[in-house]
Amino acid sequence: MDIRFVYFDLDDTLLDHRHAERAALLDVRTTFAEPFAGLDDTTIHETYRACSMPLWRQYAAGAIEKTDLKRGRFEQLLAELDIDTLDAQTVSDHYLRRYASHWRFVEGARRAFLHVADRFPVGVLTNGFAEIQTQKLDQFPMLRDRTEAVVISEETGYMKPHPQVFNHAADAADTPPDRILYVGDSYHSDVQGGRAAGWQVAWFTRNGHGGAAEEAPRLTFDTWDMLLDRLR
């Protein structure tokens, strides 16, 4: 592997999005206790993900607006849970405030990121709402201080896995695509997107998505030490 630049995905690769999402939903349940009475954590979280993910796909495809996605995922959640006494926008606003209070690194990711950044020029390439991803970078200053490039896909007008996002990022890194390694957790956005753009990929399978892959990359890892070993 001849690697000249390493890009990291942000959510569920460096930062523990899934933890923050779940914790924020529990805060929503605590704040709006009566309508959510009798619903357990897992039901709320899984229902939310089932509502949110198809809307993200539609948003990525340009079929709906950001505001529709933000409010729509809570409209659907409340409908699925048979809650008709809450306003989706109010719940969404509360959720986003609480979500921001629960951000943290994935276990081992901070140390691994710094090790890799000592050896290679590195960058961050992330999907997600630009204003929220910007807040995350502000909260963890090393993600800007130690990187040569930060690309938030929304700012390019496309989202991963669209090749334009990767092409834009390769230009920002001033590195040929086949010399870039992309480290990410999503088979669809990161592995397939990176490959289609001619990048090398390292797939982080911590969340157990391994089964869905048609063709797992040679560099697949589920602990950060494994990645560091492979890059040694």
Which residue number, 12 or 91, has a Cβ lying nearer to Mg ion? Answer: 12
State how far the Cα of 73 lies from the Cα of 150, in Å rounded to an integer: 27
Specify burial of residue 182 (Cβ count, 10 A radius: 0-12, 13-18, 19+).
Answer: buried
**Residue number with CB closer to Mg ion (36 or 203):** 203
- Residue from 5, 6, 8, 9 touching Mg ion (CB under 5 A): that is 9
For Mg ion, the closer of residues 4 and 18 by Cβ is 18
Of residues 83 and 168, the one with the C-beta less far from Mg ion: 168
Helix (H, G, I), strand (E, B) or coil at 186: coil
> Minimum CB separation from Mg ion for residue 73, in Å?
17
Residue 154 near Mg ion by CB under 5 A = no
Size of residue set near Mg ion by CB under 5 A: 5
DSSP 219: S
* DSSP per-residue string spanning 81-112: TT--SS-HHHHHHHHHHHHHTT--BPTTHHHH
Is residue 16 a contact residue for Mg ion (CB under 5 A)? no
What's the rounded Cα separation, in Å, for the pair 227 and 203? 9
Chain residues 178-217 in contact with Mg ion, contact rule CB under 5 A: 185-186
Positions that interact with Mg ion (CB under 5 A) = 9, 11-12, 185-186
